[in-house]
Structure 1
């Protein structure tokens, strides 16, 4: 675009002439998209960034009367937008990396705690009377219902319920101090 014609469009644009904006947009928008794409390698993002640049041009059109090179003005805006883009992505990547690291640490801690708790429960169950051990194991480890346990062990359903209730009471009594330590 001719320099004097461009300056004339800028002066008209500064006064709110939307036709001048349209002509400048049609000439420079594709160039902005190509320039931005060359740095960020994402066509859709480059297009959006170019749109944002021209939105800012329109919003700040009154200040364009003093601009002597619209091309330099636009490419300076594009350069700043690229810096912001990479800075934003860097912050986002650091955040994601930190989140995944925290999740890995907590996941490992939780997994170790669950294994230790399972071993402790197994130890406590092994110290229960033999019939209570059987009932608890069939219920909690094998997932059988009280009726199925009663049938399998030739017990009354109420006896099975009593054994389970006593087993859970014993576990609760033994594990409560441990959980109190974790809450502190």
Structure 2
């Protein structure tokens, strides 16, 4: 196990740089902080930490790798949530007459979840989904970075996806 004094020294010396690396890649303060924490937990649990010749290089590489993994996971989740929203919208457009109440419930829940989002997140989501603007076009229009637009879209999709998923589970026929 790593010496606590050495760990504290490495943490204090490298935290800020690792945070900047993660924040640049991820674009979210909270996610960057969590990723840096993961890097240090991994180091703490690494029984071969003494074999690491260039500690700063090792830590920066670990931060970059974990940040990229986070971005890939987030994009996959966002894509899955977008497909779910599209499926629900298609279902709404082609709904069977015997299920109009369920479709109304889903639409009401989606509207409520959307209206509960912060104004900027809501606006970005609507520009993308209703006006069909790309993230770059939204960033240009709102004078934001593309990473900021990605962050807000991810937030909107996460909230909407969770709400819609909860509704679908509640509406699913239960076997008794």
1:109 paired residue among 89, 94, 115: 94
Aligned to 1:27: 13
Deviation track 1:90-123 (CA, whole Å, cap 9, x = no partner) reads 21111011101110111111276779xxxxxxxx
Structure 1, unmatched stretches of 5+, are 1-14, 116-184
Aligned to 1:57: 43
Aligned to 2:133: none
Q: In structure 2, how many angstroms separate the alpha carbons of the residues matched to 1:41 and 1:101?
A: 26
> Alpha carbons of 1:68 and 1:111: their partners in 2 closer, same or farther (altered >3 Å)?
same
Give 1:41 shift: 1.8
SS of equivalent to 2:95: helix
The answer to whether the 8 Å contact 2:25/2:64 transfers is no
Aligned to 1:180: none
Structure 2, unmatched stretches of 5+, are 101-176
1:40 paired residue among 18, 23, 26: 26
Give 1:16 shift: 3.0
TM-score, normalised to structure 1, is 0.50
Q: Where do 1:62-141 residues align within 5 Å? A: 62-110=47-95
Deviation track 1:71-91 (CA, whole Å, cap 9, x = no partner) reads 111111111112211110121
RMSD between aligned alpha carbons? 1.9
The answer to whether the 8 Å contact 2:18/2:36 transfers is yes
TM-score, normalised to structure 2, is 0.52
Structure 1 or 2: more helix by fraction: 1
The one of the two structures with greater contact order (alpha-carbon pairs below 8 A, sep at least 6) is 2
Q: In structure 1, how many angstroms separate the alpha carbons of the residues matched to 2:30 and 2:86?
A: 31
SS of equivalent to 1:110: coil
